């Protein structure tokens, strides 16, 4: 199958494709979230150490994973925008930033709620929390930089440079629990196996996919809005039924 990727990099062809994909990913996210929450709150056993409190893991871990993953994806699209000057790449990077910031915020917030009953504190100056907080600042800085620059093409490339520089932070967050061995517990899920009960793990993975699908659906919806906004002077946008109306 010869798929022409360059054809998809044109906003005019990507716009309708994104439109058809959004309902599928949105429905997938809803179904997966329903299954994941049922597994997490109905099936998974109570943790022998932490009791019921641990169940926030089903929100905390997926959002933390997505916060890092989305940053890398955003930097990747930024690098493409910088290297090839493709318009859509910059729009994708722009569309990802708010969702990434949201995931980072959710990860920090649920972490605080989890920390209070288990560690006795909402916040500690632990390596992983601090680096995750810096990730939030990076997202906010990128969003603020884009807001400050009027010209979208300049904003694309400036944000790309900033996000590529900031990508150094991602391995620091990921390995912080290993390198510093501070308050935050180590990873429960590794490539070599997991230290968790199977239903807990399944619930967490299903929730991760739900978060992932949600992010894709939201990013695609946002990128469609950005496309219409930026390409509003083109003939094909003018011909769209939703724009005409």
Partner 1 sequence: MSAPAPSTAATVSPVPPDGALAGVRWALARDLKLAFRSRAELGVQLLFYVIVVTLFPLATTPERNLLSTMGPGVLWVASLLASLLSLPRLFATDHADGTLEQIALSPYALEALVSGKIAAHWLTTGLPVVLLAPMLGLQYYMDGESLTVLAAGLLIGTPILSLLGAIGAALTLGLKGGGGLLALLILPLYVPVLIFGAGAVDAVRAGLGATANLSLLGAGLALAVVGAPFAAAAAVRIALD
- Greatest CA span in the chain, whole angstroms? 63
- Judged by CB under 8 A, does residue 140 bind partner 1? yes
- The smaller minimum CB distance to partner 1, of residues 159 and 218, is found at 159
Q: Which residue has the tokens 């109905």?
A: 42
- Provide the 3-class DSSP secondary structure of residue 195: coil
Q: Least distance from C-beta 104 to partner 1, angstroms? A: 12
Short-list 145, 168, 169, 170, CA closest to 156: 145
Determine which residue in the list 61, 75, 129, 138 makes contact with partner 1, applying CB under 8 A. 138
138 CB neighbour count, 10 Å cutoff? 24
Site string for partner 1, 69-88 (x = CB under 8 A): -------------x------
The stretch near partner 1 (CB under 8 A) out of 15-23, 37-45, 86-94, 166-174 is 166-174
- Judged by CB under 8 A, does residue 129 bind partner 1? no
Determine which residue in the list 12, 22, 162, 177 makes contact with partner 1, applying CB under 8 A. 162
Size of the site for partner 1 (CB under 8 A): 22
Determine which residue in the list 31, 165, 225, 243 makes contact with partner 1, applying CB under 8 A. 165
Q: Which residues contact 237 (CB under 8 A, 6 or more apart)?
A: 227, 228, 231, 243
Q: Least distance from C-beta 127 to partner 1, angstroms? A: 9
- Provide the 3-class DSSP secondary structure of residue 167: coil
49 CB neighbour count, 10 Å cutoff? 8
Determine which residue in the list 22, 53, 172, 228 makes contact with partner 1, applying CB under 8 A. 172
Q: Which residues contact 192 (CB under 8 A, 6 or more apart)?
A: none
Query: CA-to-CA distance for 214 and 37, rounded, in angstroms?
Result: 15
Residue numbers at the binding site for partner 1 (CB under 8 A): 82, 130, 134, 137-138, 140-141, 144-145, 148-149, 153-154, 157-158, 161-162, 164-166, 169, 172
């Amino acid at each position: 199958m010869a798929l022409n990727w360059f054809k998809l990099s044109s906003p005019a062809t990507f716009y309708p494709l994104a439109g058809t994909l959004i309902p599928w990913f949105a429905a997938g996210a809803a179904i997966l979230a329903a299954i994941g929450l049922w597994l997490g709150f109905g099936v998974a056993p109570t943790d022998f150490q932490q009791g019921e409190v641990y169940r926030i893991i089903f929100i905390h871990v997926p959002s933390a994973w997505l916060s890092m993953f989305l940053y890398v994806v955003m930097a990747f699209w930024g690098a493409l925008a910088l290297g090839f000057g493709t318009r859509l790449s910059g729009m994708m990077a722009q569309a990802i930033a708010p969702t990434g910031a949201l995931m980072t915020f959710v990860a920090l917030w649920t972490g605080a709620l989890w920390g209070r009953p288990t560690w006795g504190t909402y916040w500690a100056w632990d390596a992983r929390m601090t680096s995750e907080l810096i990730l939030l600042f990076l997202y906010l800085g990128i969003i603020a930089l884009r807001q400050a620059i009027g010209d979208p093409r300049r904003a694309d490339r400036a944000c790309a440079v900033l996000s590529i520089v900031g990508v150094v932070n991602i391995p620091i967050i990921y390995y912080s629990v290993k390198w510093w061995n501070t308050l935050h517990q180590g990873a429960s899920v590794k490539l070599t196996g997991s230290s968790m009960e199977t239903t807990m793990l399944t619930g967490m993975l299903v929730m991760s996919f739900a978060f992932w699908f949600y992010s894709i659906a939201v990013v695609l919806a946002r990128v469609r809005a950005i496309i219409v906004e930026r390409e509003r002077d083109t003939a094909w946008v003018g011909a769209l039924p939703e724009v005409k109306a």
